[in-house]
């Protein structure tokens, strides 16, 4: 079974600074997808960034980027120029892919990391 581990229950960062959230996962699959979701106080689960395992290039979305290390099964999220609105719970998630490369099935989530942004 796939497992996702976030070892940092809480992190904090000063506004405008950079912070990195850690995530490791365990799978025997070679094709899969990894995600970071954000859950602000409003409770809505919002996709931050997505990474396909077959792509070597790390995904980037504006101030958010990942460091995907497939061999090490590591998937960290870097938030640059942190803003007060980035304060939220962040979840790392895994989803398997089928032989055709498309994802299917459930998302498996890590335990989450609470990010606090200090003004």
Partner 1 sequence: DSGVTQTPKHLITATGQRVTLRCSPRSGDLSVYWYQQSLDQGLQFLIQYYNGEERAKGNILERFSAQQFPDLHSELNLSSLELGDSALYFCASSVKGDTGELFFGEGSRLTVL
Q: Which residues bind partner 1 (CB under 8 A)?
A: 33, 35, 37, 42-45, 47, 50, 52, 91, 95, 100-112
Work out the widest C-alpha separation in the chain, in whole angstroms: 47
Burial readout 86-103 (b: 16 or more C-beta within 10 A, e: otherwise): bbbbbbbbbbbbeeeeeb
Q: Which is nearer to partner 1, 35 or 75 (CB)?
A: 35
- Complex with partner 1: residue 28 or 102, whichever CB lies closer: 102
- Measured from the CB atom, the residue of 45 and 84 that comes closer to partner 1 is 45
* Min dist. Cβ of residue 107 to partner 1 (A): 6
CA–CA dist 13, 78 (Å, integer): 12
Nearer to partner 1, 1 or 119 (CB): 1
CB of 102 to partner 1, least distance (A): 5
Torsional sign, CA 51, 57, 62, 67: positive
Nearest approach in angstroms of CB 17 to partner 1 is 27
* Calpha distance 116→74 (Å, rounded): 23
Tokens of 70: 């497939």
The CB-of-50 to partner 1 minimum distance in angstroms stands at 5
């Amino acid at each position: 079974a796939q497992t996702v581990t976030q070892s940092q229950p809480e992190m904090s960062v000063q506004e405008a600074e950079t912070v990195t959230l850690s995530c490791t996962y365990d799978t025997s699959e070679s094709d899969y997808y990894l995600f970071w979701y954000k859950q602000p106080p409003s409770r809505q689960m919002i996709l931050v960034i997505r990474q396909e395992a077959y792509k070597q290039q790390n995904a980037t979305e504006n101030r958010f980027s990942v460091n995907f290390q497939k061999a090490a099964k590591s998937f960290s999220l870097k938030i640059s120029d942190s803003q007060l609105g980035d304060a939220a719970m962040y979840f790392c998630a895994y989803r398997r892919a089928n032989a055709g490369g498309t994802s299917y099935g459930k998302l498996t989530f890590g335990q989450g990391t609470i990010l606090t942004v200090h003004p």
